[in-house]
Chain A
Amino acid sequence: MANNNGAGLHSPLGLLAELTHRCPLGCPYCSNPIALEPRTDELDTQTWARVFAEAAGLGVLQVHLSGGEPGARRDLVDIMTAAHAAGLYTNLITSAVGITVPTLQRLAEAGLDHVQISIQDSERASADHIAGYAGAFARKRALAAEVVALRIPLTVNAVMHRANIDRIGEMVALALALGASRVEIAHVQYYGWALKNRAALMPSAEQVARAAAAVEELRKKHHGQIVIDAVVPDYYARLPKPCVGGWGRRSLNVTPAGKVLPCHAAESIPGLEFWSVREHSLADIWANSPAFNAFRGTDWMQEPCRSCERRDIDFGGCRCQAFALTGDARATDPVCHLSPRHQEVAALAAVQRDEAYDYRRM
Chain B
Amino acid sequence: MNETASAIPPDARPRLPRGVRLVHNEAQGGWVLLAPERVFKADAIAAEVVKRCTGDTTFAAIVDDLAKAFSAPRERILADVTPLLRGLADKRLLEL
Q: How far is the CB of B32 from chain A (nearest CB, A)?
A: 6
Interface residue B36 (Cβ < 8 Å from any Cβ of A): yes
Are A91 and B37 in contact, CB atoms less than 8 angstroms apart? yes
CB-CB < 8 A to A153: which residues of B? 17-20, 36
Interface residue A61 (Cβ < 8 Å from any Cβ of B): yes
Interface residue B51 (Cβ < 8 Å from any Cβ of A): no
CB-CB < 8 A to B25: which residues of A? 59, 61
Are B18 and A1 in contact, CB atoms less than 8 angstroms apart? no
Near B by CB (< 8 A), chain A positions 19-36 give none
Binary B-proximity of A124-155 (CB < 8 A = 1, otherwise 0): 00000000000000000000000000011101
Interface residue B23 (Cβ < 8 Å from any Cβ of A): yes
Residues A58 and B37 in contact in the complex (CB < 8 Å), given A182-B92, A224-B90: no
CB-CB < 8 A to B74: which residues of A? none
CB-CB < 8 A to A223: which residues of B? 90
Which residue of chain B is the closest to A93 with respect to CB atoms?
B37
Which residue of chain A is the closest to B20 with respect to CB atoms?
A153
CB-CB < 8 A to B27: which residues of A? 2-3, 5, 11, 58-59
Main secondary structure of the interface of A (DSSP, over half): loop
CB-CB < 8 A to B36: which residues of A? 91, 113-114, 116, 153, 155, 181-182
Interface residue B45 (Cβ < 8 Å from any Cβ of A): no
CA distance A153 to B21 in the complex (A): 12
CA distance A89 to B28 in the complex (A): 14
CA distance A3 to B91 in the complex (A): 25
Residues A64 and B19 in contact in the complex (CB < 8 Å), given A2-B28, A59-B27, A224-B90: no
Residues A61 and B92 in contact in the complex (CB < 8 Å), given A91-B37, A114-B37: no
CB within 8 Å of B: which residues of A? Answer: 1-3, 5, 11, 13-14, 58-59, 61-62, 64, 89, 91, 113-114, 116, 151-153, 155, 181-182, 223-224, 226-227
